[in-house]
Structure formats: structure tokens, C-alpha cells
Amino acid sequence: MILSSGCLDFCRRVLLQSEAVFTRMTDGTEDCNRIHGGRMENQKKAESVHESLEFGPMEVGLVGLGLVGSAISIRLIAKGYGVTGFDLDDDAKSKLERVGGTVAKSGREVARRCDRIFMSLPDGGIVGSVVDEMMPDFVLNTILVDTTTAEPEQVLAVGKKLAGIGIGYLDATLSGSSEQVACGDATWLIGGERNDFDKAEELFHAIGGLVHHVGPVGAGTRMKLVSNLILGLNRAVLAEGLALAESWDMDLVRTLEILKTTSAYSKVMDVKGQKMIERNYQPQARLKQHHKDVRILLKLANEKGLKLYLSELHEELMRKAEDEGLGELDNSAIAEIWR
């Protein structure tokens, strides 16, 4: 597809601004309060649980230093944990060093050095390949915490493979953007054996947010897909509502403020509303990643004979957005298809 020069200039401008996200994620409470409209109750509840746990020094591994991986590293380092991480991207590795982490030469080195390892990768296929590479080097009794949103069958296959060599595995998905993770305001949806969860629980509370152990391996992924179905539709509906208000020349800032006080309120308004109004699509979570999740949940629903009418429409909107070159931008950029 050939994009117009105007669209290319717009996308280029947004992508060039994205470096600022990493800086803002380290700015602390002021920025977090701005993002979430002062709604920090979940974080306070989680921190009260966190303070009741016993902690010791620990070197935590991290494979995948993208938006979510970087946010996790910031939170862990701020809580006093050492972080040894690896990514193929040199810029991502440099960012880890700047916040006080240690860069490993490979995922295998992370496996050799750490017995608590987070993995945050684009999809389940990549997770499977990386785990295969790391298999010979895992330390006995390692717990691998996988934040990737994948297909449940992929998650179950990885869990079974690791269980065969005595390695614990948690599919620890996150509900929330990378900035919410960096602010300690995301929600953990975790599947895996209870014993493995207990061994890693302190890390979830250290990173912050509400923590839910929802069942065996695979349960975290299924819960995340249900959550993402609702979240993505909320985001699309907000975009359409703001487009209608804009067509009537309404003050969008004032409109958003009022919407937050009505029965139409959702947290999407706090996190994505201003971004849509300002057309500021510095990525907190990329549109193409949510499109991937929508395709997964549609596939799984089809296997059960369940028709997801709204999600099918949502997938069409996401496909249109990607066709218009918006895939690398924040998922709030779906608002551009109404403009």
C-alpha cells in the first residue's frame, strides 16, 4: 500500500516522539496522577499487600525489553532488585543500562544467572523459540514468568515442556498499558501452579498493581483475552463518541471531562481520552499488538462455535487502521479512522 505524504509525515512525527515515553515513565507520581486522573486506589491497595511480605535481595532476569519489559525493569530496579536483561534491540539494551540494569549477551546468559525470569515478547511463537534456546541453561527450580499474550495452546505447550525439566511457568498477563505498568497501576492476571505463583508473588507486588491468581497454566491468558475484548471495544467506542462530538464542534476536552462523570465512564477515558484528543500516539501499547489479540480471540471463539459480532467489526476497524499505517502507533490511534 502507498501512503499519502501527509499520512507518512504524521506517522513519522509520532514515532519520533516515542522516545519521550521512556523518559516520562521514570518521572514518578506526578505523571502517573496525570495519566490516571488521580485514581491511584488500586496502587495503594497493592502496596499495602506488598509491605506485608518479606523481601530479600534478588537478581531478576528479563528477556524482552520493549514497552512492557522496560516498564517492568523500571519498577523492579526502583524497588531495589537487580535486573539482568536481554533484547535484540541495541536501544532497548541501552535504556536498561541507563536505569541501572545489567545487559546480558543472550537469553541463555539470563537463564544461567537468574532463577526468576520475566519474559515479555511479541507473540507466543517467539516465546516458544526463545524458551527452546534457553532450555539447556535454566537453573534448577527457576520460575519463568511470561507476560506475553499468546494463544492458550502455545502457553500450555511451553508450560508442559518446562515442567518436564523442573522449571515453573506462569502465564502472567497484564491488563494495562506500559505507562500503567510503570506507574504500578496495571492488573496481573496469572495462571500457573499455586506453588510456583507463591514463589514469584513478591515480584508481582514489587512491580505493583492488583494481583490475581486465576487458575492453572493457560488461565491467565484466557482471562487476558476476555479483558482485552472488552477493553478494545471500550477504546473504539470512545473514539467514535469523540468523533461525533467533534463533528458537532463540541469542546472535546470539556466533553471528556463530563463523560468521566456519567454512566458511560470507563478507565479508557483516563488513559486514552486525552491522547485521542491531542492525536498524541506515542506508543504505550501498539495498535498492531491489540489487533493480534483480537485475531486470537476470534479464532478461539470460532473453534467453540461462538460468534463475536462486535469483535468481528472491531477486527475490521483494526485492519483498516493497520492498512493506513497506524500499526506501530499507540492503540488509541484507532481514532484516526474517523478523521
pLDDT in tens, 264-278: 999 999 999 999 999
DSSP states of 265-296:
--HHHHHHHHHHHHT----SSBHHHHHHHHHH
Q: Which residues pair with 103 in a beta bridge?
A: 85
pLDDT at 58: 78
Q: pLDDT digit string (tens) for 59-79?
A: 999 999 999 999 999 999 999
Mark whether 65 and 162 lie in a shared domain.
yes
Cite the DSSP H helix spans in 59-190. Answer: 67-78, 90-98, 107-113, 124-134, 152-163, 178-182
- For residue 325, what is the domain's CATH number? 1.10.1040.10
pTM of the model: 0.81
Q: Are residues 32 and 178 in the same domain?
A: yes
Q: Answer yes or no: do 30 and 96 share one domain.
A: yes
User: Which of 183, 216, 249 is the last residue in one of the domains?
Assistant: 216
Return the minimum-mean-pLDDT range out of 3-12, 83-92, 196-205: 3-12
Counts of helices then strands in the chain (DSSP H, E): 16, 8
Domain residue limits at 321: 5-15+223-338
Residue 38: pLDDT over 70: no
**pLDDT tens digit sequence for 81-107:** 999 999 999 999 999 999 999 999 999
Which CA distances in Å does 42 have to 10, 124, 263, 305?
A: 36, 29, 21, 36
Report the distance separating Cα 171 and Cα 308, nearest Å: 25
The residue from 175, 190, 216 where one domain ends is 216
Task: Over range 290-317, report the average pLDDT.
Answer: 97
Same domain, 46 and 161: yes
pLDDT cut 70: percent of the chain above it: 83
Residue 47 has pLDDT above 60, yes or no: no
Rounded to whole angstroms, how far apart are CA atoms 272 and 190? 25
DSSP state of 2: P
Residue 122 has pLDDT above 90, yes or no: yes
Q: Which of 191, 216, 241 is the endpoint of a domain?
A: 216
Give the least confident one: 42-46, 130-134, 145-149, 191-195.
Answer: 42-46
User: What number is the average pLDDT over the span 122-147?
Assistant: 96
Residue 56 predicted with pLDDT over 70: no
Contact 110, 104 (CB under 8 A): yes
- 96: cell is 536498561
pLDDT at 14 over 50: no
| Residues 319, 220: Cα–Cα separation, whole Å | 26
**Which residues are within 8 A (CB) of 308 and not within 5 positions of it... i.e. 6 or more apart?**
229, 297, 298, 301
The confidence score (pLDDT) of residue 110 equals 98
- Asked if residue 64 and residue 189 are part of one domain, the reply reads yes
Closest by CA position to 334, among listed 270, 241, 260, 245 = 241
Same domain (yes/no): 93, 37: yes
Query: Model confidence at 32, in pLDDT bands (50, 70, 90)?
Result: low
Q: CATH number, domain at 68? A: 3.40.50.720
Same domain, 133 and 259: no
User: Strand 102-103's sheet: what is its strand order?
Assistant: 102-103, 82-86, 59-63, 116-119, 143-146, 168-175, 187-191, 210-215
Taking residues 297-311, report their average pLDDT.
97
Task: Tell me how many domains the chain contains.
Answer: 2
Mark whether 103 and 158 lie in a shared domain: yes
Helix (H) or strand (E) holding 35: helix 29-36
pLDDT at 224 over 50: yes
